[in-house]
Amino acid sequence: MASCLAYGTGMAVAFAIGSGGAFLAFDWPPLLREIVAGYLTAFLATRLALVAGWFLLASGAERFRVVPMRTAAASFWYRNIGVAVGWLSFAWVTLVQLGTLGVPAEARHVLAYLAGLVLLAIGLNVAVRRPRDHTDAHRSLPGWLPGAYPVLLWLLWVANAMALFWTVVVAAGLPAAMGVVRRAVGHILRPAGADDAVAQTPGLAAVVLERGLRAAVIIGAAFILAAAWRVDFGALTAEDTLVTRVARGLISATVVVLLTDLVWHVARALIDRRLATVAASSRANDEDARRQDRLRTLLPILRNLVFVVLMVMAVLMVLSSVGIEIGPLVAGAGVVGVAIGFGAQTLVKDIISGMFFLLDDAFRVGEYVQSGAYKGTVESFSLRSVKLRHHRGPLFTVPFGELGAIQNMSRDWVIDKLTLALALDTDLDKIEKIVKQVGKDLLADEECAAHILETLKMQGVETFGNQAVTIRMKMMTKPGEQFVIRRKAYALIKKAFDTAGVAFATTTVHVAGGEASGAAARRALAETASPGA
């Protein structure tokens, strides 16, 4: 892109030097010299506009395009920008030269209106035939509004209301220019081959460049409006009237807002970039996983804290710049803060409890925790609460002050206990060998082996009963993985027991009685079947 800009600018400079040298080499008559110089200037301005359009749009080379858009749209805008700048430059020079030649002012005014009508036609053509793509910032506007804009500008120009003319130009051009800057910076500084999560998060260079260019565009628009409304900056600094004080305050407030905006977006870009990198990076070992989980937990809190601090500082500086004494405000804010602290003890308790939970590293984003009746996966934090996603779907928003003791089920390891009820005559030595083989089979399974810290093994007899003997087994796995491994272990045990002929305990019911009970039952049955009964 830089080479394309350097090449185009070099061509324009070479043309300027060559044409200027040829122009200066001859001894022109004064009138002809002025005419030739004027048209050379108009041609050079058109040439520079085409160079700038080529650099931004690159209508014939999509990979060098600064402003992302389709090739057809780039060709359309490049062509119309060249036509508009060329016509404006040559019409302006022609009107100036006609004044030099002594053409009456009335005739020049008529020609100026005709030239303005041509510019209006160019503007209407652009408004009606402009390409509509997914990046069109005005696609939601009414269909007649883009066509009405050049008509309004032409009417203001005809009415010689130049202050309103430039105000309307800035009002429509400033948002469009900032949108172009944002899209262009995001396009040219997008890291090649970056992960989607990382690529969608702006980097430090992109934020600094975008916000810097945005500030430059806003400052340029302010100077245009100041010139249109004939604002005297010297008077603003020398005089001490109410109007000048308000104007100086507004200028200082604008500078403060722009600087605060730049600092905030730089800080947010650094934090978001780090978050995206942590989310997209592969975790080589448990220590890296713990460190990244801790970053995912603390960085959003830091981002919110930076935002609050910058906002408070910016508001105080803006109030000070417009002449408001902030000393009593700060003192009053301290008194109000104390009052709020006493009146909102629960809120203060929640915030302080949350700070200590984070300092103690009690839980992190992505971990499964339980506190009283609340349990679930930690999704996010705020200053006063934590959001827990239950494994069945409900989302709990729990204030830190209500958490109390925390049971973290996602740290280091977990021991899972398995019990089986077998028949009383089961050979326990045989069962121990089968369980040992099942443990080996689990380690041989690629899906399970990575999550097993200690494989399945038999601990022995847990209880005896009248109908079954209960044995206990255990295994150590990574947190959260025990459920899948347990199902796999049960399936392997069932299959191994079926193969080895091992029977599980079954419940049986024995019904017994004496001869007297049998005789009584037979007499009752005979009486029921008797016809005379």
Q: What is the mean pLDDT of the segment spanning 53-72?
A: 74
**Nearest to residue 53, comparing CAs of 14, 18, 4, 88?**
4
Establish if 308 belongs to a structural domain.
Answer: no
Q: What is the mean pLDDT of the segment spanning 428-432?
A: 88
Residue 90: pLDDT band with limits 50, 70, 90: very high
**In the prediction, which pLDDT does 284 show?**
47
Q: Which residue has the higher pLDDT, 64 or 355?
A: 355
Establish if 400 belongs to a structural domain.
Answer: no
Question: pLDDT for 521-530, tens place per residue?
Answer: 667 666 766 6
Query: What is the residue-wise DSSP string for 276-327?
Result: HHHHHS---SHHHHHHHHHHHHHHHHHHHHHHHHHHHHHHHHHHHHTT---H
Task: Please check whether residue 475 is in contact with residue 452, taking contact to mean a CB–CB distance below 8 angstroms.
Answer: yes
**Both structure tokens of 245:** 């004080």
Establish if 278 belongs to a structural domain.
Answer: no
b/e string for 453-474 if b means 16 or more Cβ within 10 A? eebbebeeeeeeeeebbebebe
* 0.75 surpassed by pTM: no
Task: Please check whether residue 9 is in contact with residue 50, taking contact to mean a CB–CB distance below 8 angstroms.
Answer: no
**Residue range of the domain that includes 71:** 2-235
**295 pLDDT above the threshold of 60:** yes
Question: Which residue is listed with tokens 């079926």?
Answer: 498
**Both structure tokens of 82:** 């060249």
**Both structure tokens of 288:** 């890296």
Q: Where are the beta strands (DSSP E) in 108-153?
A: none
**In the prediction, which pLDDT does 472 show?**
92
Task: Please check whether residue 262 is in contact with residue 211, taking contact to mean a CB–CB distance below 8 angstroms.
Answer: yes
The angle at the Cα of 490, spanning 489 to 494, to the nearest 5 degrees, equals 120
**513 pLDDT above the threshold of 60:** no
Mean pLDDT of the chain: 79
**In the prediction, which pLDDT does 325 show?**
73
Residue 209 CA to residue 191 CA, distance in Å, equals: 15
**Nearest to residue 472, comparing CAs of 427, 413, 409, 416?**
416
Task: Please check whether residue 175 is in contact with residue 233, taking contact to mean a CB–CB distance below 8 angstroms.
Answer: no
Question: pLDDT for 453-488, tens place per residue?
Answer: 888 888 888 888 778 889 999 999 888 888 889 999
**Both structure tokens of 104:** 């009456």
Last residue of a domain, one of 235, 268, 292: 235
**400 pLDDT above the threshold of 50:** yes
Q: What's the CATH number where 441 sits?
A: 3.30.70.100
Establish if 404 belongs to a structural domain.
Answer: no
**Both structure tokens of 16:** 């300027």
Residue 75 CA to residue 67 CA, distance in Å, equals: 12
**In the prediction, which pLDDT does 373 show?**
85
Establish if 143 belongs to a structural domain.
Answer: yes
Establish if 347 belongs to a structural domain.
Answer: no
Backbone angles phi, psi at 418, to 5 degrees: -125, 135
Question: pLDDT for 68-85, tens place per residue?
Answer: 888 888 888 888 988 999
Structural domain count of the chain: 2
The angle at the Cα of 475, spanning 474 to 476, to the nearest 5 degrees, equals 135
Residue 312: pLDDT band with limits 50, 70, 90: confident
Establish if 222 belongs to a structural domain.
Answer: yes
Establish if 374 belongs to a structural domain.
Answer: no
**In the prediction, which pLDDT does 3 show?**
61
Q: What is the mean pLDDT of the segment spanning 302-316?
A: 85
Q: What Å distances lie between residue 97 and 22, 35, 94, 104, CA to CA?
A: 21, 6, 5, 12
**Span of 39-53, 134-148, 342-356, 425-439 with lowest mean pLDDT:** 134-148
Residues in the chain: 533
Strand partners, 472: 419, 460
**517 pLDDT above the threshold of 80:** no
Question: pLDDT for 107-117, tens place per residue?
Answer: 888 899 899 89
Q: What is the mean pLDDT of the segment spanning 187-209?
A: 63
Strand partners, 504: 422
Q: Report which listed range, 35-44, 141-150, 244-253, is most confident.
A: 35-44
Last residue of a domain, one of 175, 209, 235: 235
Last residue of a domain, one of 219, 235, 251: 235
